[in-house]
Amino acid sequence: MKKFYADAIRRLPIRLYLLVAAVVCFAFFSNDFGLVDIQKTALILAAGVDRTQSGFTLTAQIANPKGSGAQQDNSGLILKGSGKTVSDCVAQIYAETGWVPKLIYCDLVVLGRETAQTDVFDCLDFFLRNEYMSDSCLLALCEGSAEELILSSSAADDTSADAVSKIFSEAAEKSGKLSKTTLKEFSIGYYGASQSGFMPFLRAVPAEETQNSGGSSESAGGSGGSSESAGGASRKETFVYLAQETALFLRGVMVGLLSPEETFAYRLLSGDVYSGMLSVAVDGEDLSLTVLKNDGDASLDMKAAPKAKLSVQLTVRLYDRDKASPIEDVALSETTDKAQKAAEELLSSYVGSLWEKIRQSQCDLFLFRRSLYRSSPKKFREWDSTLLNALRPETQISVRGVE
Amino acid sequence: MITVTGHLKTDCSALKKLLPAEDILTFSFRADGGGEFTVLFADAVTDKELLGEQVVRPLLRYDGAPAASEVGARLTSPELKRETDLNRLAEEVLNGNPVLLWEGADGALVTGLKKVYARAVSEPPTDVAVKGPREGFVEDVKINASLVRRRLKSPDLRLETVVIGRRSRTTVQICYLDGIAVRSVAEEVKKRLENIDLDVVPDSSYLSHFLAAKPRSLLKQVGTTEKPDIFCAKLAEGRVGILADGSPIALTVPYLLVEDFQSSEDYFVPTYRATFTRLLRVFALLVAVYLPAFYIAAQLFKLQLFPVKLLLTIAGSIRNIPLSPSLEMLLVLLVLEVLNEASIRMPKYVGMALSVVGALVLGETAVSAGFVSTPAIIIIAFSGIGLYAVPNLIEVTSVVRLAMLLVAGSVGTYGIVLLTAFLLFYLCVTENFGTPVLAPFSPLVGRDLRDSLVKYNLSALCLRPETLKSKNKRRLRRVK
Amino acid sequence: MSNKISVRQLCFFLAFVAPVGKIVLLPSRLVHFAKNDLLLPAALQFALQAGIVFLVVLLSRKGETLYELLRNAFGKVVASILFVLFACFFLFAALYPVQEQKLLVQSVFYDTLPSLFVFAPFFVLSAYLCAKPLFVCGRTWDALAPLSTVAFAGLMILSAGEADFGALQPAGASGFPAILKAFAYTSNWFCDSAFLLLLTGRLEYRKGMAWKALLSYLAGALAVLFFLAVYYGIFSDIAVRQSFAFAKISKYFSAVSVLGRVDYLFIYLLGLVMTFYCVVPLQASATCLREAFGERGKPALYSVAVNAAVLLVVIFTDLRFLSFQETVTVKLFWIFPLFTVLVPLLCLFLGRSRREKILR
């Protein structure tokens, strides 16, 4: 008997290995522990959220891969769900389509104009809370409803989401024509000392060319929870998307809208513009200047009376004239003092207008309140609510040509 | 012990009793001086021509005394041994060495006239080098020993013989460089070999089982090589080698895992190239083992591992595949293993047809029929190629790959991490002959890293590996 | 096989393995209490632990294990009782790291919340590791050090550029009570000295070992503090929401959006190192039981018992993590300094009294 037990203990490790192997094999072949594999998944690439009377609607652009034989085409399916919270919308999509919506690849969240009337975090809360969603996704506010924008057909791309993602490219951002933000950045602004943030404001503008070439799919809006996708070569209005305006937010509520010029000024002051274009009129002649170097800065000076130091130092080159020029001028592309002066005046007016918008909206776009908090919490408490009104802007604009 | 009596008939019949086999022949002749002689030999393994030349002919005119020393002086065979024990004589006959008996003898003479049937020394198919020596071991232990001796003309080279196998009586030679190899390791090897009580030893791989500290271990614990240059290099580092008669594969101990990532060619090419190829082997092996597993785990549990465009391509490819991703991958892997196994065993002319069947019929048709997806085939193909970057570890790595696949399909990426942790720990604690298998990485031996997965210049490798604990540490004296 | 842990292996543990356990939930927990002052309580904890580590390593000059020290001082029975207490402490100390690992696995290794089953294999591995003698860990640390370094450096390279270190200002804004709270309620992450206490007598003592251990611990501490700074620099006001910090900070690197989540390679490597670190208190607990009860049972028996106990707690607290966290880190936080500060200090006196005994 003793020998039997000794033998059993000696063989125990092997039996344990076999047991573990058997369990692993069972798990492998049964192959379902609540896992959601690629076949059951709806990969949401872009989401549009609108506020409704009863809550929210979520319009999701999902990836639609074709079979290996077919041409790759990411166009297509749009899923819609509605509910009291965004999470309810997602649950409805799951319930009505059987596909599990996954937000891991969601790179764009478009909010309908209505959502910005109240705190946008009523709906963004879901995205920030979701452990399986990246907070590096882009945020945008759109004119009208997000559903319409997502459902609209792009004149330039397969889907509206693709087209919008393209206009948010890094190159577009460097041109200074738009300012983009991510969920993380917007949340930091919202929960931080400034309580402010911004989002690019999207407009869908009908394209002149409305003929849609055959093959790409189109989708149209529908009732909650429906899944719609259609192909064919029907004539349908197509759109181009503009995001040159910027919506300003204070405590999650939209409080102002920057014009394209003000957006450009904001980008210049942020110092992130490397290849932007500036058009000025000199002696009745229109000139285009390209920005080669941009040293922009917006800082807070609390030494005496509170001051906002706004400075833009540009190095530009003549890029184009609206009139024919001698070949020497074409070769050198030098900017004249007059042109530089004109550019400085133009930018001063943009910056002035921008500052006025900020003051009116009380959106701390340059995060001055945060700077004050970081440098002196005591002064922050003193100036917190009145800072933007008390700040006197000190603008310094300098435009120089390449030497 | 039964000894030679000096009575020819008695001795002959006693020996014949010990060797009743039909191929044990006797040849008796009478010398001119009247003396009677009998030679016992094994038919197929004795060189009969030399027997006539070197033994029979010189004795035909012998008329001297029957003392063994006197008879031996007449023979022209260079390998002579006097033996009185009949059992040992029987053993020698079986080894192919004829035994000479005569009337009134005070002992028998064993003549080294064994007939050696050996294939020519050629390049081993498993270890081909573009640069470097092309000789490989053969099945004869003596030739193999001579290949070693030719490279190590040192009196310190010790070749200790052990006979293993109750029936096969296989000659096994333990080789080491005295003063360089750790004496206790050589003694331990000898002890373990002598303790083997096996009836037949067909190949050296049988011995490796007995030399391993954990015979059931998944890991390899004894180094193998078919090349005398590598074998000698290992002896020079302080290892102990084992040559077995009938096997072209030599064994070396202690074994370090890193050995299998090194090739003899690394020492004949520039160091940067050697380092690059070694790292490439590691990379290939990691890809071979992990790629199928991560592919499955990503599809089933963690899509984020794929960039979105790749994911869409994969999703498009697997859209109509009836099997789950894990089963699909397992199927393709099994097909690869079957093809691999079949292609090794099949004759060369059938192998060509097999390649066509494997590549076209199974691969192309299975994809177009929608049984398996293209990414699965690409991944398994890549994995299959990667595995052969380190051919000496294939037995282990192919099992690990399968285990990874099973774990990835059942538990996902976390399963892969846990299995890796298990393997890492197992490797860390495994040791053989007092040497950790994962050295010089664990335990970390800084100096030995110079010839591990990276390779320094020869001038930086003045000392023998510290891991092998050789007493004689210096192998290269610096030129002043 | 040498049954001692070398100086190098100990230093590798302190510099490369131990810090890894402090970058999962600790950062968000520190932010929860101290907000942007998260570096201060962490630095205080590290400073305190570094001192204790130094003293504990000095204790191993004697060459006697803790059990032997206790047995010589108080007799076998008392030593065994104390070791059972130690085993209970390590079991308690293991609960949070194991839960942390479970949550990390659920969040980082899967796209959707998986069942508890997927975490069960951890206990199989843990049981295997715990059945091995403690000194074999040394070799594992040798192997883990380069992996940890590569992974940590990789993550820092991908993420440091994204950090706005200005977010750490203003220093001290959260106030002394908040910092003190953060210091106290994160004690469970700083148990390294208690574990080292168990290694006493198992270390291959060399001259200057204590200094080397101290410097290694401080090097690891610096790495963690830098990580915390980067973490807060990236997430600033939303840092408290960012659990599993190390898995999130690198995704903002521009190449990640093009190549996909290549940073997962580093994250999984750190996950591997973390698995071993997570097992350390369980190994310690099993070892204590083994020493307390002598050779009466097989090592596997203690290992299975310890792991089964933790598994049960994990199952029970599966959906009660917040209250579990509150209990371990807030209500029962005092247990940790008791065993990681007070007991090691008392053991020093134990060593001294013995020396005096010898001198007499």
Tokens of C347: 């053991």
Is pLDDT above 60 for A146?
A: yes
On whether both A244 and A271 belong to a single domain, the answer is: no
Write out the DSSP string of A166-225: HHTSHHHHHTTS---EEHHHHHHHHHSSS-EEEEEEEEEEE-S--PPPTTS-B----STT
Does A325 fall in a domain?
yes
Does A316 fall in a domain?
yes
Q: Which of residues 173-192 of C touch A (CB under 8 A)?
A: 173
On whether both A248 and A284 belong to a single domain, the answer is: no
Does A9 fall in a domain?
no
- Our CA-based measurement puts residue C122 at a distance from the nearest CA of chain B, in whole angstroms, of 7
Instruction: Give the DSSP letter of residue B102.
Output: E
Write out the DSSP string of A266-329: HHHHHT--SS-EEEEEETTEEEEEEEEEEEEEEEEE-SSS-EEEEEEEEEEEEEEESS---HHH
- Residue C162 CA to residue C167 CA, distance in Å, equals 12
Instruction: Give the DSSP letter of residue C244.
Output: S
Interface mutation target, options C236, C263, C304, chain A, most CBs of A under 10 Å = C236
> What pLDDT shows up at residue C297?
60
Query: Is-contact C13 C148, C-beta < 8 A?
Result: no
* Interval A75-94: pLDDT, tens: 568 889 999 999 999 999 88
Does A216 fall in a domain?
no
Q: Which of residues 53-92 of A touch B (CB under 8 A)?
A: 63, 65-68, 70, 72, 74
> What pLDDT shows up at residue C67?
87
Does A218 fall in a domain?
no
Query: Side by side, which strands form the sheet with B223-225?
Result: B157-164, B170-177, B240-244, B250-253, B223-225
Chain A residues whose CB is inside 8 A of the C114 CB are: 33-35
Chain B residue whose CA is closest to A45: B308
Chain B residues whose CB is inside 8 A of the C122 CB are: 418
Q: Does B388 touch chain C (CB under 8 A)?
A: no
- Contact yes or no for A31 and B324 at CB 8 A: yes
End-to-end alpha carbon distance in chain A:
100
On whether both A39 and A176 belong to a single domain, the answer is: yes
On whether both A253 and A264 belong to a single domain, the answer is: no
Does A46 fall in a domain?
yes
At C87, the pLDDT band (50, 70, 90 cuts) reads: very high
Helix (H) and strand (E) counts in chain C: 16, 0
On whether both A274 and A369 belong to a single domain, the answer is: yes
Domain closes at, from A258, A292, A325 = A258
User: Which partners does chain C have (≥3 C-beta pairs < 8 Å)?
Assistant: A, B
Q: Measured in whole angstroms, how far is the alpha carbon of residue C112 from the centre of its chain?
A: 28
Tokens of A323: 């009139």
- Our CA-based measurement puts residue A365 at a distance from the nearest CA of chain B, in whole angstroms, of 33
Is pLDDT above 90 for C149?
A: yes
Q: Does A159 touch chain B (CB under 8 A)?
A: no
At C359, the pLDDT band (50, 70, 90 cuts) reads: very low
> What pLDDT shows up at residue C52?
93
Q: Does C167 touch chain A (CB under 8 A)?
A: yes
On whether both A246 and A291 belong to a single domain, the answer is: no
Sequence-ordered list of residues with C-beta below 8 angstroms from that of B180, at least 6 positions apart, any chain = B156, B235, B236, B237, B238, B464, B470, B471, B472
Percent of chain B with pLDDT over 90: 28
The CATH number assigned to the domain holding A270 equals 3.30.300.210
SS3 category, C100: helix
Which carries the bigger pLDDT value, residue C266 or residue A387? Answer: C266
B→A interface, C-beta within 8 Å: 216, 299-301, 303-304, 308, 311-320, 324-327, 330, 367, 373-374, 406-407, 409-412, 415
A→C interface, C-beta within 8 Å: 9, 12, 20, 27, 33-36, 100, 102, 104, 128-129, 131-132, 134, 136, 170, 184, 187-188, 191-193, 373-377
Is pLDDT above 80 for A33?
A: no
- Contact yes or no for B301 and C121 at CB 8 A: no
- Residue A344 CA to residue A351 CA, distance in Å, equals 10
Domain closes at, from A227, A258, A289 = A258
- What's the mean per-residue pLDDT of chain C? 89
Percent of chain C with pLDDT over 70: 96
Work out the number of other CB atoms within 10 angstroms of the CB of residue A8: 10
Does A5 fall in a domain?
no
Tokens of A137: 């996704």
- Contact yes or no for A36 and C111 at CB 8 A: yes
- Our CA-based measurement puts residue B399 at a distance from the nearest CA of chain A, in whole angstroms, of 12
Query: Is-contact B60 B31, C-beta < 8 A?
Result: yes
Lowest-confidence range among A23-37, A269-283, C71-85, C171-185? Answer: A23-37
SS3 category, B97: coil
User: Which partners does chain B have (≥3 C-beta pairs < 8 Å)?
Assistant: A, C
- Contact yes or no for C140 and B425 at CB 8 A: yes
On whether both A401 and A347 belong to a single domain, the answer is: yes
- What's the mean per-residue pLDDT of chain A? 81
Query: Is-contact B2 B87, C-beta < 8 A?
Result: yes
Lowest-confidence range among A212-226, A266-280, C54-68? Answer: A212-226
> What pLDDT shows up at residue C352?
53
Size of interface A-C (CB pairs under 8 A): 57
Average pLDDT over residues A361-388: 87
Residue A104: give the domain boundaries. 17-208+240-258
Is pLDDT above 70 for C18?
A: yes
- What's the mean per-residue pLDDT of chain B? 87
On whether both A249 and A264 belong to a single domain, the answer is: no
Q: Does A27 touch chain B (CB under 8 A)?
A: yes
- Residue A12 CA to residue B436 CA, distance in Å, equals 25
Average pLDDT over residues A280-308: 85
Size of interface B-C (CB pairs under 8 A): 100
Q: Does B310 touch chain C (CB under 8 A)?
A: yes
Average pLDDT over residues A183-207: 91
Is pLDDT above 90 for C96?
A: yes
At A212, the pLDDT band (50, 70, 90 cuts) reads: very low
List of chain B residues with pLDDT < 70: 360-361, 478-480
Lowest-confidence range among A228-242, A296-310, B74-88? Answer: A228-242
- Our CA-based measurement puts residue A167 at a distance from the nearest CA of chain B, in whole angstroms, of 19
- Residue C333 CA to residue C338 CA, distance in Å, equals 9
Number of compact structural domains in chain A: 2
At A50, the pLDDT band (50, 70, 90 cuts) reads: very high
> What pLDDT shows up at residue C95?
94
- Our CA-based measurement puts residue A402 at a distance from the nearest CA of chain B, in whole angstroms, of 42
Is pLDDT above 60 for A214?
A: no
- Our CA-based measurement puts residue A349 at a distance from the nearest CA of chain C, in whole angstroms, of 31
At A70, the pLDDT band (50, 70, 90 cuts) reads: very low
On whether both A264 and A253 belong to a single domain, the answer is: no
Sequence-ordered list of residues with C-beta below 8 angstroms from that of A396, at least 6 positions apart, any chain = A309, A310, A311, A312, A313
Is pLDDT above 60 for A71?
A: no
Residue A37 has its nearest CB partner, among B216, B299, B304, at B299
Is pLDDT above 60 for C308?
A: yes
Average pLDDT over residues C320-328: 91
On whether both A321 and A188 belong to a single domain, the answer is: no
Tell me, what's the ipTM?
A: 0.92
On whether both A140 and A176 belong to a single domain, the answer is: yes
Chain B residues whose CB is inside 8 A of the C299 CB are: none
CA-CA-CA-CA torsion sign (A351, A356, A357, A362): positive
On whether both A35 and A170 belong to a single domain, the answer is: yes
Does A229 fall in a domain?
no
* Interval C192-216: pLDDT, tens: 889 998 888 888 888 888 999 999 9
Rounded to 5 degrees, what angle do the CA atoms C144, C148, C152 make? Answer: 180
> What pLDDT shows up at residue A13?
67
